[in-house]
Structure 1
Amino acid sequence: MQGNFGLRHMIGVILLAALAPTPALAIDEALLPRNLSPWGMFVGADFVVKAVMIGLAIASLVTWTVWLAKTIELRRKSALALERTRALERNLKLAEAAERAGDAHDAVAQLVQSCAREAELSGGILDDGLQERVALRLERVEAAMSRQIARGTGVLATIGATAPFVGLFGTVWGIMNSFIGISESHTTSLAVVAPGIAEALLATALGLVAAIPAVVIYNHLVRGIANYRALLGDASAQLMLLVSRQRDHRDFRLARAAE
């Protein structure tokens, strides 16, 4: 009887020891993060990972700011260029077109002013050289206006190209911290590995959030800028036709002479 009692007592002790929480589980409970939301992971991230996330958030903000500003600018300038180009299609003379353009600073107005200025400097001599000089001036104005409307879009290409790699850097750093945590705690429990992996994945996600819209918006703006350049090309063509018609009819007049 005493032997059976001792055996039962030993089995009970073994079961209690097996059911008792182990130190590893205690470590897990102590190290498990309480907040696994994106903000919680950001707060608990390493300084370098935080810097990466903040940089990617700023890049995303810049992307949407450039999109809003350039979209408004493109719509406004394209509508004005289309309106002035249609006005040039009417039976106008260069002097009348220059008078209507006045001192405006939009692209088509500057094309008209440059054309009238070259005609004035040529002294009313109607030859092939005048048309060549006018074409050269128009080409230079078109190039300047194209550079002006494209200003600011280069940053979108830079963000789209570099943001995934910046996020990848945050991923590598977070995984490295996870392995360091494993080494320091002498355990392979998920409580040590999971926080660093979560931070790494969050950095990757932010990199994609910054890069994908930047690429899409950049391509959209490039198409809009190409359409705007086409409008400027149409305006230049109309001015060349206007100069050619006046030369053929020998009724070329300068803006100042018309006054």
Structure 2
Amino acid sequence: MSLSMPDVGLAVGSAAQAATISPLALFLQADIVVKVVMLGLLLASIWTWAMIIGFSFTLRKASRQSRAFEQDFWKAEDIDRFYEARGKSEFPAARVMAAGVTEWRRSTAQKVIDREGTRDRLSTAMSSTIAAEVDRLSDRLNILATIGSVAPFVGLFGTVWGIMRAFTSIAAEQNSSLAVVAPGIAEALFATAIGLFAAIPAVIAYNRFSHGINRMESGLTRFADGFYSTLSRELEAQR
């Protein structure tokens, strides 16, 4: 059975409209379930970019301050004077130094100094501070990991639901032409696209931030080891 000219024109017009349809139109024409999925993924995407921008500034600032602090520390001639001037700053390297100096003063305040115990306590104090700083910096990275792993599946759920709706339209209209099924399939695929739009930046940002935090942890560990060696030599000099 062939289509008449008006039917052919209508089908071509519907197909052209589907081909040039806007994202807003796809959202407005979608089923309520697909709309909820799209809105959730859009909010997740906005949240992801807000975290990326905010965490980028935080990590960059902490790294810059810690590097400058370490450089100035190794140039200082008097550790106590340097600590009084800058040891109470609120960034990772300063906190590591503060933990070491605090434990040093407590351990050497005794009449009889336990050298091995002092070394163990110094190492534990600075290692614990490094771990606490890393945990504090990476506190919300799990959100990026969650969005990166879950968003594609949420989008896939919207896709499956949209395709089910498209097949329902085929059964209701008893017409399997592309003009009938294209809008529903387009809405379904749009949900997948939003899911990927939320997931891809989240995964990339998570990997980059994890690498940056690992580098900072390595830098803090090297600084703590150097400071520990300095205090250990000072401990040996005390008789």
Shared fold (TM-score, shorter chain, > 0.5): yes
SS at match of 2:75: coil
Q: Which residue of 1 aligns with 2:116?
A: 128
Which sits farther off after the overlay, 50-59 or 97-106? 97-106
Deviation at residue 88 of structure 1 after TM alignment: 2.8
Distance across 1 between alignment mates of 2:215 and 2:85: 24
Distance across 2 between alignment mates of 1:198 and 1:102: 59
Q: Which residue of 2 aligns with 1:238?
A: 226
User: Does 1:74 pair with 2:59?
Assistant: yes
Deviation at residue 114 of structure 1 after TM alignment: 1.5
User: Does 1:148 pair with 2:136?
Assistant: yes
CA deviation string 1:199-236 (max 9, x = no partner)? 01111111111111111111111111111112211221
Deviation at residue 98 of structure 1 after TM alignment: 2.3
Runs of 4 or more consecutive aligned structure 1 residues displaced over 6 Å after TM superposition: 29-32
Q: Runs of 5+ in structure 1 lacking a partner?
A: 1-16, 252-259
Distance across 1 between alignment mates of 2:121 and 2:43: 47
Q: TM-score, normalised by structure 1?
A: 0.81
Q: Runs of 5+ in structure 2 lacking a partner?
A: none
AA aligned to 1:64 is W
The structure that has the greater radius of gyration is 1
Count how many residue pairs are aligned between Structure 1 and Structure 2: 233
Assess if the C-alpha contact under 8 Å between 2:145 and 2:202 holds in 1.
Answer: yes
CA deviation string 1:45-78 (max 9, x = no partner)? 1111111111111111111111111111111111
Q: 1:54 to 1:107 in 2, by over 3 A?
A: same
AA aligned to 1:172 is V
Q: 1:91 to 1:40 in 2, by over 3 A?
A: closer
AA aligned to 1:71 is S
Assess if the C-alpha contact under 8 Å between 1:85 and 1:108 holds in 2.
Answer: yes
Q: 1:203 to 1:240 in 2, by over 3 A?
A: same
Q: State the identity as a percent.
A: 35
1:39 alignment partner, one of 7, 24, 29: 24
Mapping of 1:15-54 within 5 angstroms?
Answer: 19=4, 21=6, 28=11, 36-54=21-39
